[in-house]
Structure 1
């Protein structure tokens, strides 16, 4: 349910804040854009 999802997200945030770590990018901008391009190609014209 939405209520359960909300509770799970809030719990994750609270636990993350107990031991925060910096986010480290694992892909280059070009790799991210290529991935998005492939995704958009798949969903384009899907009728939704």
Structure 2
């Protein structure tokens, strides 16, 4: 789930913005994180586990 969060934050914040300093960038990431957690909801999985997980031969 951490990878999903970083992927979304990269697409929605990092690539769309321009920052003049590291401090400004860190403040934007903190604001994004606060907003994310205020409106968070569970992810809806589109595939069942048996389609995602590798099958082991018996």
Greater length-normalized contact order (CA 8 Å, ≥ 6 residues apart): 2
Q: Which TM bucket (shorter chain)?
A: 0.3 to 0.5
TM norm structure 1: 0.43
Higher helix share: 1
TM norm structure 2: 0.37
